[in-house]
Amino acid sequence: MSDPASIDSLIKSLGAQAAPVRRLLSPGRRAAGWAVVVAAIAAYLLWRYGLGGMMERWERAPDVACSALAAFATCIAAGWAAFALAVPGSSRAWMLVPLPSLLVWLGSSGWGCMRYWLTPDSAPLSVPSADCLVFIVALSVPLSILLIVLLRRAFPLHPVRAAAMIGLASASASAGLLGIFHPIDASASDLAMHVVAVLLVIGVNAAMGGRLLQPR
132-190 per-position pLDDT tens digit: 778 888 899 999 989 988 887 777 778 888 889 999 999 999 989 988 887 655 555 66
Task: Indicate whether 52 pLDDT > 60.
Answer: yes
Write down how long the chain is. 216
How high is the pLDDT of residue 186? 54
The 10 Å Cβ neighbour count of residue 188 is 16
pTM of the predicted model, to two decimals? Answer: 0.80
Q: Under 8 Å CB-to-CB from 30, ≥6 apart: which residues?
A: 24, 83, 150
Look at the alpha carbons of 46, 205, 81, 152 in this order and tell me if their dihedral is positive or negative: negative
CA distances from 71 to 90, 101, 187 (A): 25, 7, 16
Closest listed residue to residue 193, CA positions, set 135, 141, 139, 145:
135
- pLDDT tens for each residue of 174-184: 989 988 887 65
